[in-house]
Amino acid sequence: RWALSQERIDQMAAAGKVRINPRIIYVDCRGETVQGMPELLYDSEAVGNEWLDIPGYAQRHHFATENAEALLRRVIESSTRPGDWVMDFFLGSGTTVAVAHQMGRRWIGIEMGQHFWEVILPRMKRVLFGERSALARELNWRGGGVFKYQVVEQFEDTLENLDLESLEPATARSGVEHREPALEQLWEALCARRCPAPLNDPFRHHLAVYRSHAGPTMPVDWPESFAYFMGMTVQRIRFEEALGRPYLAVLGEKQGEPVAAVWRPLAGLSFARDREVILRLVREWQPRYIYANGDAAVPGFRSVEVEVYQNW
What's the predicted TM-score (pTM) here? Answer: 0.60
Average pLDDT value over all residues in the chain: 83
Residue ranges matching CATH 3.40.50.150 in the chain:
69-139
Reported as a single tens digit per residue, the pLDDT across 115-170 is 899 999 999 999 999 998 889 999 999 999 999 998 887 766 666 666 666 655 55
Average pLDDT score over residue span 243-269: 96
Q: Is the pLDDT of residue 307 over 50?
A: yes
What pLDDT is attached to residue 263? Answer: 97
Q: At what angle do helices 121-128 and 95-102 cross, to 10 degrees?
A: 10
Please name which of 2, 82, 86 lies closest in space to residue 39, comparing C-alpha atoms.
2
Predicted confidence band of residue 292 (pLDDT cuts 50, 70, 90): very high
Share of residues in the chain with pLDDT > 90 (%):
48
What pLDDT is attached to residue 251? Answer: 98
What pLDDT is attached to residue 218? Answer: 79
Number of Cβ within 10 Å of residue 244's Cβ equals 9
**Spatial separation of the C-alpha atoms in residues 264 and 269, rounded to whole Å:** 9
What pLDDT is attached to residue 37? Answer: 86
What pLDDT is attached to residue 173? Answer: 43
Fold of 69-139: Rossmann fold (3.40.50)
List Cβ neighbours of 38 (8 Å cut-off, separation of 6 or more): 2, 18, 19, 20, 21
